[in-house]
Amino acid sequence: MRFVLRRAGFFLLTLWAAVTLNFFLPRMMPGNPAIAMMGKFRGKVGAQELQTLEQIFGADSHQSLPAQYAHYLGDIFTGNFGTSLFYFPSPVIDVVRGAIPWTLGLVGVTVILAFVLGTGIGIISAWRRGGLIDSLAPPLLVIASAIPYFWVGMMFILIFGLKLQWLPWSGGMNLTDSPAWTPSFIGDVVEHALLPGLALLITTIGTWTLTMRNNMVTTLADDYVRMARAKGLRPHRIMLNYAARNAILPNLTGFAMSLGFVVSGAILIEYVFNYPGVGYMLLQAVENEDYPLMQALFLLITVAVLVAILLADIATAIFDPRTRTSR
Amino acid sequence: MTGRFWRALARSPKATAGAILLAAFIVLALFPGLFARDNPTAEAYARNLGPSAAHLFGTTGLGQDIFAQAVYGTRQVLEIAFGAGLASTVIAALIGVAAAYLGGFWDGALNLFTDVVLVIPLFPLLIVIAAYVHNSGTGVLIAVLTFTGWSYTARQLRSQALSLRNRDFLAAARVRGERGAYIIVVEILPTMASLLIAAFLINALYDVLFASSLQFIGLGDPNSVAWGTMLYWAQNNEALQTGYYLQAIVPGAAIALLGAAFALLNYAFDEVSNPALRPVRVRRTIRWRIGRLAL
Amino acid sequence: MLEVSGLTVEYAATGTTGGKNPVRAVDDVSFHVDAGEFVGIVGESGCGKSTLLFAVAQLLSPPAAITAGSVEFRGQDLVALSGRRLNAIRWQNLSVVMQSAMNALNPVMSVGAQFADALRAHGMTSRKAVAERSAEVLRLVGIDPVHLKSYPFQLSGGMRQRAMIAMALLFTPDLVIMDEPTSALDVVAQRSLMTQIKELQREIGFAVIFVTHDMSLVSHYSDRLLVMYAGQLAEAGPTRRIFDNPLHPYSRGLLEAFPSIKGPKVPLQGIPGAPPDLSIIPNGCRFHPAAHPNCRSARPPSRRCSTSKA
């Protein structure tokens, strides 16, 4: 229990750090971007929004810095992220809300698949050292992990989208359709998700497989695995209950680290495929200099990552009894 | 890190492949003029040409020679890889080892700081920073990558330093009266050399990927000669849709190859440092005997 | 009951690390164990005793492999047995206790779960029966059965080791092979563990092969002693006889290295040199770089002296 509390405390601390970072970054930029912003958006947006911009860049000299900070924190807590500059006059919250399901679907499914498949292949590869899978998988995956995500996406577009014309390669759905829970719509969504999903899967699966395999190999050399053999247990029971269960533990914490890469992969893949998720939206916001939207998305991504890490920590506590006693 | 270590490394096919690739790229970066005749930035040629004898990979949408761009672009990428890679490894080493060595409050504080930085998603942060800065050149990219990339390595190095902390040779140094800084630099760091090198390789790999990604989405300097920027322009010109594949394939392949070089070297390092991961086991060595009383 | 003949174990040569020849860790070793006997195997680090043990129990992993010889256990040659039939024998008739319980017990499973694993693998399905038998063996070694729910890291070192022994006795096997089970313990715990093992042996009647480098410890409890050096059996015979009259120069050297507590002060004799590199096997007696010149070229044949060989 103390363990969970400690992790939750860490979660809050990091959240605070991200929020504060978000606050200070625009103020640290060289030059005076606020003025450029004013010039660009004046006349296109309302006075309220201009004021928001000023607040973001700290050009609002009516308040002192601590006061601005307090104001900012208050806004965050109430979910008031201001109005989007590009999608004016929609509030940022609404814009963000629209993008979330797309990313959740694409990335969520892919990550789970990558973890399950990657771990599985890693286990089998280590169990049958020197077998076919073990000779092929590691070198292939090493090389695969070095390929930039977006390039894989582009190659997919080239091969499967343009040349072979098997699957659509842009957008989340057919633009002419309107969303409805009909089989044809769902089928359409799935079709559009296949290529980006596959690209994301390929790029993320490599790390997990490799670390799982390496962990398994080290674990298999441990005495308790030999002991399990001595007891006459069936091979697959040894593989799963004794070897894999121990080998996966460092992987769970590694899962937290690798989330960062999943996020970057997702952003790039969404960009390449014009997939209307959170990542795509972030890049659009950057391109359009829609700072309120950008800040909100950054916070959203950070929170998502933190939550995932917290979940991984809880999973570790469940699977590894040693962590339950606080150190 | 004994001679045996290096010999084993030299025998590993992965290390050899990685080293050759890397060496090739370094040569290209140092002497681009030897390999590419054309000026990479000159928009002198007809646009969107396919491969030919005159232009090995064809030309871009602006009439630049792709081959020349690829060759000259090596320099920037290597600058970033080595620059940011080295910088983040050094910072990570200082922070990680200091935390392990100082212990107590400082350890806790540095650790917490590292963990927090570690957990904040890297790429979105990079994007946000680059967005505020506009048109990041090499220097900015290096700074930004270093600032965000040291945390993971710091953690690793701290663990290893912790396990070394209580070893005898360090106690001997303390008894000799050496100062903390001396011990850290002269005694601890060389012992961690293999981990440091492996960390550098991984950092270099990710710096290459992240820098190219940033350039790809348009946050780099669009006028620079770099692989990521080439991809940016290719995307802008809808190279894939319009059939000028090489504009996209060439820079991507270059990134993948350089990345693979670092990745292979790193994997070979892992294998050699951790004998359990090697293809087969090691032989015995001669041991001392019991019952022998020293003469 | 157990008859090992000409057992040879080799570690395959590797290309990446420089060794060209396979390393012969166990070379043509033969011995036997009768029912209820306590046989000690002693030797220094690296002499091959653990490898011998794992080879007998068919627990080697690549790159180690049995390249010659047989292990006859209750009439069956274990080397030739297939996986399934071997598994049936495992633990029921032949069990193993390892050096460090912290490493030999699965850290993420409770002690009871690990007992249950073994029991269920051999056909005990009723949860009640499993629980009863697990509690029974724990009581045998003096551990409160409430610890079935504990994880290995929650027990003390001595308790863990005894829990391992309890686990080895789940099916009251005929033979229990122990690989340095006391090395990780302090002297007091060592003594109490050894006494307990001997008592259990008397109660239940299993045979024990006990591998250790601590000759003085094992000699108090063993019926017979095997001395290993550089992968070969240097000497074998009743414990008392070996101590009173060691025949092989190595055994002699070992015994002479222990000063006597009583008796006159005598300058101690060490054994000069070091064991040979097992990938380059010398001709003749392995001990020859350290021993008499007349053994240098050819290995002296094993001589039988009444009930022992050297």
Of chain B, the end-to-end C-alpha distance in Å amounts to 31
Q: What is the pLDDT of residue C285?
A: 58
The pairing of strands C308-309 and C304-305 is antiparallel
Spell C208-247 as b/e; 16+ CB within 10 A means b.
bbbbbbebebbbebbbbbbbbbbbbbbbbbebebbeeebb
Q: Does C104 touch chain A (CB under 8 A)?
A: yes
Find, in chain A, the residue whose alpha carbon is nearest to that of B236: A272
The predicted model gives C272-299 an average pLDDT of: 54
Of A232, A237, A246, the CB nearest to C88: A232
Query: How far away is chain C from the Cα of A237, in angstroms, using its nearest Cα?
Result: 9
DSSP B5-29: HHHHHHH-HHHHHHHHHHHHHHHHH
Residues of chain C with C-beta less than 8 angstroms from the C-beta of B16: none
Query: Which chains contact B through at least 3 pairs of Cβ atoms less than 8 Å apart?
Result: A, C
**pLDDT value at position C310?**
46
* Cα nearest neighbour of C114 on chain A: A228
Write out chain A residues lying below 8 Å of C88, CB-based. 232
Q: CB distance A237–C121 less than 8 Å?
A: yes
The pLDDT assigned to A39 comes to: 64
Question: Would you call C98 and A245 a contact, using CB atoms and an 8 Å cutoff?
Answer: no
Q: Which range is most confident: B173-177, C47-51, C182-186, C219-223?
A: C219-223
Residue B22: C-alpha distances to residues A259, B41, B258, C19, C117 (Å)? 28, 25, 7, 30, 51
- Contacting residues of C for A247, CB less than 8 Å apart: none
pLDDT at res. B104: 76
Share of chain B above pLDDT 90, in %: 1
Question: Under an 8 A CB cutoff, do B122 and A301 touch?
Answer: no
Span of A288-292, B80-84, C53-57 with lowest mean pLDDT: A288-292
Work out the average pLDDT over A160-179.
69
- Most A-contacting residue of C98, C106, C115 (CB-CB within 10 A), to test interface: C106
C103, C108, C117: residue with CB nearest A223:
C103
Residue A52 has a pLDDT of 67
Which residues of chain B lie closer than 8 angstroms to C13, CB-CB?
283
Cβ contacts of residue C261 below 8 Å, gap of 6+? none
Q: Do A217 and B212 touch (CB under 8 A)?
A: no
Averaged pLDDT, A279-300: 82
Q: Could you tell me which chain C residue has the CA closest to the CA of A227? A: C104
- Per-residue pLDDT for C193 more than 50? yes
Neighbour tally for C175: CB within 10 Å: 23
**Cβ of A231 and C117 within 8 Å?**
yes
Encode pLDDT of B225-283 as tens digits: 888 888 888 887 777 777 777 777 888 888 888 888 888 888 787 777 665 555 543 22
SS3 category, C248: coil
Mean pLDDT of chain C: 79
| Residues of B in Cβ contact (< 8 Å) with A214 | 270, 274, 277
pLDDT given at position B174 = 72
Q: Is the pLDDT of residue A303 over 70?
A: yes
- Cβ of A232 within 8 Å of Cβ of C109? The answer is no
What's the 3-state SS for A15-47? HHHHHHHHHHHHHHCCCCHHHHHHHHHECCECH
Q: Taking CB atoms and an 8 Å limit, are C118 and A249 in contact across chains?
A: no
The pLDDT of C283-291, averaged and rounded, is 52
Chain-centre distance of CA A239, in angstroms?
31
DSSP state for residue C194 in the 8-state scheme: H
Query: Do the strands C207-212 and C175-179 form a parallel or antiparallel pair, or are they unpaired?
Result: parallel
Of A76-90, A144-158, C73-87, C230-244, least confident by mean pLDDT is A76-90
When the pLDDT of each residue in chain A is averaged and rounded to a whole number, the result is: 76
What is the interface pTM, i.e. ipTM, of the complex? 0.76
pLDDT at residue C97 greater than cutoff 70: yes
pTM as predicted: 0.71
Set of chain A residues whose Cβ sits within 8 Å of the Cβ of C107: 224, 246, 320, 322
What pLDDT does residue B283 have? 27
- Residue A327: predicted pLDDT: 38
Among residues A252, A239, A270, the alpha carbon closest in space to that of A211 is found at: A252
Half-sphere exposure for A73 (CA within 13 Å, toward CB): 11
* pLDDT over threshold 60, residue B289: no
* C46 alpha carbon, distance to own chain's centre: 13
Q: How many CB atoms lie within 10 A of CB C65?
A: 14
Counting residues of chain B whose pLDDT is more than 70, the rounded percentage is: 82
pLDDT band at C296 (very low <50, low <70, confident <90, very high): very low
Residue A28: both structure tokens together: 């640290």
Using a CB–CB cutoff of 8 Å, tell me whether C44 touches chain B: yes
A41-55, B62-76, B216-230, C31-45: range with highest mean pLDDT: C31-45
Per-residue pLDDT tens digits for A29-72 = 665 556 666 666 666 666 666 666 666 666 555 667 777 778 77
**pLDDT tens-digit profile of A72-85?**
777 777 777 777 76
Predicted pLDDT at C308: 44
> Can you tell me the mean pLDDT for C148-172?
87
Top-ranked range on mean pLDDT: pick from A174-188, B203-217, B271-285: B203-217
* Nearest beta carbon to residue A143 from set B132, B217, B263: B263
- Model pLDDT, residue B189: 66
pLDDT attached to residue A326: 44
In which band, very low, low, confident or very high, does the pLDDT at A173 lie, cut at 50, 70 and 90?
low
pLDDT value at C230 more than 70: yes
Query: Each residue of B127-143: pLDDT tens digit?
Result: 888 777 766 677 878 88
Q: For CA atoms A186, A188, A191, A193, give the dihedral sign.
A: negative
**C22 in Cβ contact with B283 (< 8 Å):** no
Contact between C178 and C115 under an 8 Å Cβ cutoff? The reply is no
Helix (H, G, I), strand (E, B) or coil at B2: coil
d(CA B204, CA C155): 45
The DSSP secondary-structure symbol of C236 reads E
More confident residue, B157 or A145: B157
Q: What is the per-residue pLDDT for C195?
A: 87
Q: Residue C118's pLDDT is what? A: 87
Omega cis (within 30) before A250 = no
Mean of pLDDT over chain B? 76
Indicate the length of chain B as a whole number.
295
Integer Cα distance of B39 and B31 in angstroms = 13
Q: What is the pLDDT of residues C102-134, one digit of tens each?
A: 788 888 888 888 898 888 888 888 889 889 989
User: Where residue B290 falls among pLDDT bands split at 50, 70, 90?
Assistant: very low
Q: What is the pLDDT of residue A29?
A: 66
Higher local confidence (pLDDT), A55 or C235: C235
- The predicted structure's pLDDT at residue C172: 87
Chain A: residue whose CA lies nearest to C150? A321
